[in-house]
Amino acid sequence: MSDQRPTVLTCAQPTGQLTLGNYLGAIKNWVALLDDYTCYFGIVDQHAITVKGIPAELRRNTLECIAQYIACGLDPEKAHLFVQSHIVGHTELAWVLGCMTPIGDLQRMTQFKEKASKLGFEIGSGDDLRIKNEGARPGATLNSGLLYYPVLMAADILLYNAHLVPTGEDQRQHLELTRDLAQRFNATYSETFNVPEPHMGKVGARIMSLQEPTKKMSKSDENLNATLFLLDEPAVLKKKIMSAVTDSGTEVVAREDKPGISNLLSMYTASTGESLDQAENQFTGKQYGEFKAAVADAVIAALEPVQAKYKALVSDKGYLQSVIKTGNEAAQKTAYKTLAKVYRKVGFMERPR
């Protein structure tokens, strides 16, 4: 892998199985970059603990997530697949960047507000950023990791001096903060970081919930019919898609007043590679039922090779461990280099040898 190529970095949280949104909105686009970039793909377990979970599940999900990455086409011969907590540098750089981040910038982040609101906390807006807890669930706490999350994410990206960060639309605001922090650091301490560019696919960058198509499809949705998982059996995928919420009217077209049909069309086009025009023409005059069945077939066909590869991989723990070990080694080498540079620039004394 040549070091002359520009760098791509992106990550996913191991908070459960990957979803169709993760696949179509993110991972599928990462595969296209493998040959032209030096690629780092992380499993961000340190981000995952911002939400309460079960330790044994996190451990298992981390290994299974690596298997899902490879099954999706992220060839470990071409990309460095690493586990965030195994690398020295992510939390260290996050601390340095946190010391340059106004708290208000973090309180204004949409995802922070959404996560807080799920727990019943309300964050003020404008200049009034007080955290109101009147509606909080009994015993609920708003941990500071949730607030600090985007700084850790910025560190993930800047630690590898990434040029390009492919993600779904939901990460756009976090990437803006990362760009701001890179620029602020460069302006304060001299040129150090590339200012990374976001890279969002034209199709699939925002796959929505099947039950509430104005909300993104998410791993943690309480409604089990809202989310398609990468490893759902074909019959389950079909059942969920056939029961997806649609819109009034009968036309199969992507339009703002048709969020349900638009979402199904996104899934269809991202799964088949057809253009939106082609898809809309193909379903002119067809009933919603027939359209949904075609979406289900397309998604099932797109996931079939991924599922087959995953099944073959997941029991081979030795192989998965070896992929992580190799990926970690490359990631750590780069991480140490960046961290040493940053520490020198901010004025930390060199370690006596």
The binding site for ligand TYM (CB under 6 A) comprises 9-13, 21-22, 25-26, 44, 47, 153, 156-157, 165, 167-168, 170-171, 205-207, 216-217
Work out how close the CB of 180 gets to ligand TYM at its nearest, in angstroms, rounded to a whole number.
15
Neighbour tally for 2: CB within 10 Å? 5
CA 244 to chain centre: 23
At closest approach, how far in Å is the CB of 6 from ligand TYM? 15
Contact predicate 33/39, CB 8 Å? yes
Angle at 97 between CA 126 and CA 78, to 5 degrees: 115
H-run or E-run covering 83: strand 79-83
Task: Tell me the C-alpha to C-alpha distance, in Å, between residue 145 and each of 49, 105, 157.
Answer: 8, 15, 18
Tally of residues, the chain = 353
Looking at the Cβ atoms of 9 and 71, the one nearer to ligand TYM is 9
Residue 101 in contact with residue 181, Cβ under 8 Å? yes
Collapsing DSSP to helix, strand or coil, 351 comes out as coil
Looking at residue 70, what DSSP letter applies?
H
Phi-psi region of 89 (alpha: psi -120 to 50; beta: other; left: phi over 0): left
Residue in the structure block whose two tokens are 């019943």: 120
Choice between 32 and 312, CB closer to ligand TYM: 32
Of 226 and 313, CB closest to ligand TYM: 226
Task: For residue 277, give Cα distances in angstroms to 40, 75, 95, 260, 282.
Answer: 35, 32, 48, 17, 8
Name the minimum Å distance from CB 88 to ligand TYM: 16
State in angstroms the smallest separation of the CB of 120 from ligand TYM.
21
The residue number whose beta carbon is nearest to ligand TYM equals: 25
Q: How far is the CB of 248 from ligand TYM (least distance, A)?
A: 24
Nearer residue to ligand TYM within complex by CB, 108 or 286:
108
CB of 232 to ligand TYM, least distance (A): 15
Contacts of 166 (CB under 8 A, 6+ apart): 8, 10, 26, 29, 30, 33, 198, 199, 200, 201
Nearer to ligand TYM, 85 or 167 (CB): 167
Tokens, residue 101: 């981040």
Q: Which residues are catalytic?
A: 115, 216, 219
CB of 82 to ligand TYM, least distance (A): 12
> Which of 206/292 has CB closer to ligand TYM?
206
End-to-end CA distance of the chain: 32
Cβ-contact 109, 154 below 8 angstroms: no
